């Protein structure tokens, strides 16, 4: 099988740090943290029923960086916590933990700190991000609960995109204080944050909301058959999907969305979800960011396939949603995961993943390559037959949640064992998805060499119809692989013994490409633009 590699926007990181491989292993013994950084301000509806208005809320994050690192263009992971879109602490009694009915819900959760620390030790910059909370899970009708949850998710997605723009702005206007590569940003969500990560990868246009499957986000808000139904989210009221436009409640003139960091891109390079589900599988299209998923097939809260999301601890229905098994499968079918699927390599934890699928429920045993299923044993309490002892085995805590059905793991050692698998499965796939030179070189054995070593010339560039590739005599071009901006192979040209090759456009769309040009000495990476 041909080995295919993703080399989009490669960085010249050293191959080894302290004898280990950056982004595959923990190569730094410690990390530094910077807490309570404000990345934006936006309107929260959390206390709307009490104050009768949305109030501005400072949006916060904590940054983890590898201590002593000298690199200045590192991939960034934005990590979003769990919590049912509700506060973890009772607003009336902050000492009452688990108010949201979950086993966590803050950026300081044990599992969040553990995962962010591990990723930073591997060389990433990681930000644990808080997003706006608030909806009424006990609304008297299903349609009102559905309205509440899509608006809560919409605000969360706006905040996630605001955090992305905050970092891009810091690169452009503040001399890149966090040392990130703005083209290599990962959105990673856990639990409810997993809902954000799974959904925002597909929800790349506001128009997808009113056009969602089964009209799930259209409603008859006034119960008047003489007026047409309206979308549950309206840009003029809620702000646009990026969070860069003003949103005003026409009923009272209250501001529901404040723009932040306008003019910067909200795009990201990779989505990762640990638990959660997506609002609509119809939103998955070709050309969206690759996806890596972890989920519990027998999760009784979030669907793994397709199912109804209920309010935790009640029989109240909220929304029909699709889980990781469906969404990651669609992402794979649309070619979005090709960057790490078409490596020709047996990536770490593939064997364990195969066993996990074989142990999954019968309807979920067909493997999905970008998904790692954690099949959790049933609760030992016989009155809870068919319910797993926890739906988030990667979390741990010492408190008892307010929801008796939320079974929290109290053993950090158990959780860390699951996190070992999560990180181990992610590491090589993240390398290929993000095009990280150091670990790709380690995994493939291909050395990336500088242009000067073979006196490479590529011209014209930008080009209209063809590009000529030249190298010095004695350095024949063996092969050219051309990748689009999503890491997909769009052209492979076999070389000859010549140091001159013409790469014809032959129908390639206007845009930026990356050519991996193979020589006996190694490979050169060259950006190419076709106008």
Other residues' Cβ atoms within 10 Å of the Cβ of residue 150? 24
Residue among 458, 187, 213, 182 at smallest CA distance from 326: 213
Q: What is the pLDDT of residue 399?
A: 80
Alpha-carbon span 44 to 523, nearest angstrom: 51
Two tokens, residue 446: 């291909």
d(CA 87, CA 91): 8
Burial class (CB in 10 A: 0-12, 13-18, 19+), 235: middle
The dihedral sign for the CA sequence 7, 12, 15, 17:
negative
214 Rama sector, left if φ>0, alpha if ψ -120 to 50, beta otherwise: left
pLDDT for 12:
29
Query: Are the C-beta atoms of 436 and 74 separated by less than 8 Å?
Result: no
Tell me the CB-side half-sphere exposure of residue 2, using CA atoms within 13 A: 7
Global pTM value? 0.85
The stretches of 48-139 forming alpha helices (DSSP H) are 48-51, 110-121
Give the integer Cα–Cα distance in Å for 7 and 511: 16
Q: Beta strands 180-190 and 74-80: pairing type?
A: parallel
Helix (H, G, I), strand (E, B) or coil at 191: coil
Residue 370's pLDDT is 97
Q: Nearest Cα to 61, choosing from 166, 183, 152, 133?
A: 166
- 344's tokens: 């020709």
- pLDDT value of residue 25: 96
Alpha helices by DSSP H, listed for 66-141, are 110-121
> What is the pLDDT at residue 11?
30
Helix 412-434 and helix 437-444, axial crossing angle in degrees, nearest 10: 90
Size of the chain in residues: 531
| Nearest partner of 521 among 469, 438, 415, 446, judged by Cα | 446
Q: Are 440 and 7 in contact (CB under 8 A)?
A: yes
Query: What's residue 287's pLDDT?
Result: 94
Of 148, 282, 135, which Cα lies nearest the Cα of 203?
A: 282
Integer Cα distance of 430 and 423 in angstroms = 10
323 in Cβ contact with 403 (< 8 Å): no
Per-residue pLDDT of the chain (531 residues; tens, 9 = 90+): 223 333 333 332 233 333 489 999 999 999 999 999 999 999 999 887 777 889 999 999 999 999 999 999 999 999 999 999 999 998 888 888 888 888 899 999 999 999 999 999 999 999 999 999 999 999 999 999 999 999 999 999 999 999 999 999 999 999 999 999 999 999 999 999 999 999 999 999 999 999 999 999 999 988 888 999 999 999 999 999 999 999 999 989 999 999 999 999 999 999 999 999 999 999 999 999 999 999 999 998 899 999 999 887 777 899 999 999 999 999 999 999 999 998 878 899 999 999 999 999 999 999 999 999 999 998 887 666 778 889 999 999 988 777 766 778 899 999 999 999 999 999 999 999 998 988 888 888 777 788 899 999 999 999 999 999 999 988 999 999 888 766 677 888 987 779 999 999 999 999 888 888 989 888 888 889 999
Which pLDDT value is given to residue 4? 33
For residue 485, what are the CA distances in angstroms to 142, 281, 435, 510?
42, 24, 11, 11
- SS3 (DSSP) at 421: helix
DSSP-derived pairing of the beta strands 489-494 and 479-483: antiparallel
- Yes or no: say if 528 and 467 are a contact pair by the CB < 8 Å rule: yes
CA atoms within 13 A on the CB side of 227: 10
Q: Which helix (H) or strand (E) holds 322?
A: strand 317-323
Contact 357, 364 (CB under 8 A): yes
The CA distance from 523 to 260, in Å, is 41
Residue 487 is predicted with a pLDDT of 62
**Domain boundaries 449-530, CATH class:** mainly beta
Residue spans per domain, the chain:
16-443, 449-530
């Amino acid at each position: 099988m041909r080995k295919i590699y993703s080399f989009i926007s490669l960085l010249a990181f050293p191959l080894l740090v302290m004898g280990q491989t950056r982004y595959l292993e923990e190569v730094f013994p410690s990390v530094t943290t910077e807490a309570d950084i404000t990345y934006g301000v936006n309107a929260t509806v959390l206390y709307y029923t009490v104050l009768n208005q949305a109030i501005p809320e400072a949006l916060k994050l904590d940054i983890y960086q590898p201590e002593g690192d000298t690199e200045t263009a590192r991939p960034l992971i934005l990590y979003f916590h769990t919590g049912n879109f509700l506060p973890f602490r009772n607003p009336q009694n902050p000492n009452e933990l688990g108010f949201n009915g979950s086993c966590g819900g803050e950026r300081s959760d044990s599992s969040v700190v553990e995962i962010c620390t591990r990723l930073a030790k591997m060389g990433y910059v990681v930000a644990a991000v808080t997003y706006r909370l608030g909806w009424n899970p006990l609304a008297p009708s299903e349609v009102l609960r559905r309205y509440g949850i899509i608006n809560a998710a919409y605000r969360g997605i706006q905040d996630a995109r605001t955090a992305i723009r905050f970092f891009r702005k810091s690169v452009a206007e503040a001399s890149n204080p966090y040392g990130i590569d703005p083209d290599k940003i990962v959105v990673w969500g856990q639990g409810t944050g997993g809902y954000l990560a799974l959904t925002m990868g597909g929800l790349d246009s506001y128009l997808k909301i009113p056009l969602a499957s089964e009209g799930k986000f259209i409603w008859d808000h006034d119960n008047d058959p003489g007026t047409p139904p309206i979308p549950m989210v309206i840009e003029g009221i809620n702000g646009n999907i990026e969070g860069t436009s003003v949103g005003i409640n026409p009923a009272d003139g209250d501001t529901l969305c404040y723009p932040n960091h306008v003019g910067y891109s909200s795009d990201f390079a990779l989505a990762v979800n640990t638990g959660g589900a997506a609002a609509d599988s119809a939103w998955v299209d070709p050309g969206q960011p690759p996806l890596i998923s972890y989920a519990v097939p027998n999760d009784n809260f979030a669907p793994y396939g397709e199912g109804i999301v209920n309010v935790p601890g009640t029989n109240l229905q909220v929304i029909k949603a699709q889980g990781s098994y469906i969404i990651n499968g669609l992402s794979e079918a649309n070619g979005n995961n090709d960057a790490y699927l078409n490596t020709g390599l047996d990536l770490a934890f593939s064997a364990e993943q195969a066993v996990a699928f074989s142990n999954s429920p019968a309807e979920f045993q067909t493997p999905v390559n970008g998904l790692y299923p954690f099949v959790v044993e049933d609760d030992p309490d016989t009155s809870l037959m068919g319910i797993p002892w926890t739906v988030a085995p990667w979390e741990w805590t010492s408190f008892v949640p307010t929801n008796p059905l939320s079974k929290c793991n109290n053993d950090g050692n158990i959780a860390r064992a699951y996190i070992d698998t999560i990180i181990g499965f992610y590491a090589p796939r993240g390398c290929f998805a993000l095009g990280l030179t150091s670990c790709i070189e380690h995994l493939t054995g291909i050395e990336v060499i500088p242009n000067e070593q073979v006196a490479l010339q590529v011209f014209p560039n930008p080009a209209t119809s063809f590009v000529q590739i030249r190298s010095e005599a004695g350095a024949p071009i063996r092969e050219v692989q051309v990748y689009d901006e999503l890491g997909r192979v769009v052209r492979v040209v076999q070389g000859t013994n010549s140091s001159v090759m013409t790469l014809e456009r032959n129908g390639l769309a206007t845009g930026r490409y990356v050519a991996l040009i193979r020589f006996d000495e190694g490979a050169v990476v060259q950006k190419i633009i076709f106008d």
